[in-house]
Structure 1
Amino acid sequence: MTGKRESKKRAVRKALYEAAVQLIERDGYDAVSVDQIVTVAGVAKGTFFNHFPGKADLLADWYREAMRGGLEMDLSDTPALPDQWLALARESVRGAAASPHMWTAKSEQAPTTPSIQAVEREMDVALLNRMTELATASSFERPVNAAELADLAVTLVTGSIREALVTGQADRLDETLAARLRALCRLAGYTGP
């Protein structure tokens, strides 16, 4: 009985999530109400709040999904560390940029939504771990603390993304990330390809 209940619960949460993404991408976050989401999902309004504390909490689930693909990508054909880091950043941004209204809403709601903040931290830690693994496997002129170097790289990536959003210069993000990550590796004494 518990298996069926859990399965139904997951299906309802998924329906709510998918309805919200569809509506927000079509109409924008501020134009979409919980009433509209539950109508499209085919559930009662109270059911929504059994799954999400508020509308903004849907954005946390979306952000986790958008970032996951980039973190799991195969980089075996990308030998240079700065290019590996750049590929991770590009793929993560691509996943988020595929849904611009969700991306904007996530960014706007993050300062006041603990669930989004938690997922942002979770994704930053996952990115840090992946970048640390890549740095550990790379060659440097002198001993380098891979975790500290990766932490600086994550800071560069997240800061560059936020800068691009705030300044409206998203079209220059790739160029900016590439230059900054290459400079960081050069300063750390990276000797790889």
Structure 2
Amino acid sequence: MHESRRERKKRETRRLLTETALRLFAEQGYERTTVAQIAAAADVATKTFFNHFPSKDDVLFADSRDSVRTALDVIADRREGESVADLLTRAYEAMLAGYDERGSGLRDPELMEIYPALVRSVPSLQARALQVAFDMQRDIAVALERACPDELDPVTAAAVVGAFVGAVQAATLRSLELEQSEEDFWAAMRRGVDVALGGIRAY
């Protein structure tokens, strides 16, 4: 579907706010950075910030909610005869496509380094990241169980999603710690997916 001028402008503003916030967090610290400072540095009104993000920390986690919605839509539309592994692969690829479409600033290698450093060093962000990950895995597991009732019970669905998400997170975080190139980062993510799917293909 063709993107309207308004939608494109909204996406560009969202990306600008994300990039600006991350750079300010890195330069002066997360706690010392205010929403007003982010808006001013991005040359937008504070109200504009809140039109895109409910709070300051949502800058870091908003993409996660969008990605989960994308995955849930794909899972709910399971194709006839599609295996659990193939369904998860399709959901993952749709999430990546949505990530690219939104134009997240985390495609910038510099910003990719800032994000995990912030989450590791700010206790409130660590707690939020764990909650986001927990909610994401629970919602996807519930959707997967509903879409695959003949193959998965609630516990197995939770285990399948945990294995998938855990493998991807572990691979990408290690790639960031090793300061690998952007190309290697995306390869590491794909390797995590492949490793997880190797165990999931039994279902």
Return the TM-score normalized by structure 2.
Answer: 0.59
- Equivalent residues of 1:69, 1:91 under 8 A apart: yes
Letter paired with 1:88: A
CA distance in 2, matches of 1:60, 1:93: 15
CA distance in 2, matches of 1:154, 1:103: 26
Whether 1:66 and 2:62 are equivalent positions in the alignment is no
CA distance in 1, matches of 2:14, 2:196: 36
Does the C-alpha gap of structure 1 residues 119 and 165 become closer, same or farther in structure 2, counting only changes over 3 Å? same
Larger Rg: 1
- 1:131 paired residue number: 144
- 2:83 paired residue number: 80
Letter paired with 2:159: L
Question: Following TM superposition, by how much is the alpha carbon of 1:179 offset from its aligned partner in structure 2, in angstroms?
Answer: 4.1
> Which structure 2 residues correspond to residues 95-174 of structure 1 after superposition, within 5 A?
95-96=98-99, 99=104, 100=106, 101=111, 105=115, 108-109=118-119, 112-113=124-125, 114-138=127-151, 146-168=153-175, 170=185, 171-174=187-190
CA distance in 2, matches of 1:183, 1:38: 46
Structure 2 gap ranges (5+): 1-10, 176-183
Letter paired with 1:177: V
CA distance in 2, matches of 1:157, 1:28: 33
Return the TM-score normalized by structure 1.
Answer: 0.62
CA distance in 2, matches of 1:83, 1:28: 40
- Equivalent residues of 1:57, 1:115 under 8 A apart: no
Q: Tell me the matched-pair count.
A: 161
Letter paired with 1:58: V
Encode CA deviations 1:124-145: one digit per residue, 9 max, x unaligned: 211111221233144xxxxxx5
- Equivalent residues of 1:132, 1:150 under 8 A apart: yes
Does the C-alpha gap of structure 1 residues 176 and 103 become closer, same or farther in structure 2, counting only changes over 3 Å? same
Question: Equivalent pairs: percent with the same residue?
Answer: 14
Question: Following TM superposition, by how much is the alpha carbon of 1:164 offset from its aligned partner in structure 2, in angstroms?
Answer: 1.6
CA RMSD of aligned residues (A): 3.8
Structure 1 gap ranges (5+): 1-13, 139-144
Encode CA deviations 1:12-65: one digit per residue, 9 max, x unaligned: xx9x9665225357x585248434422233138xx89xx52xx33432333212
CA distance in 2, matches of 1:121, 1:24: 25
Does the C-alpha gap of structure 1 residues 81 and 66 become closer, same or farther in structure 2, counting only changes over 3 Å? closer
Letter paired with 2:93: R
- Equivalent residues of 1:157, 1:177 under 8 A apart: yes
Does the C-alpha gap of structure 1 residues 66 and 180 become closer, same or farther in structure 2, counting only changes over 3 Å? closer
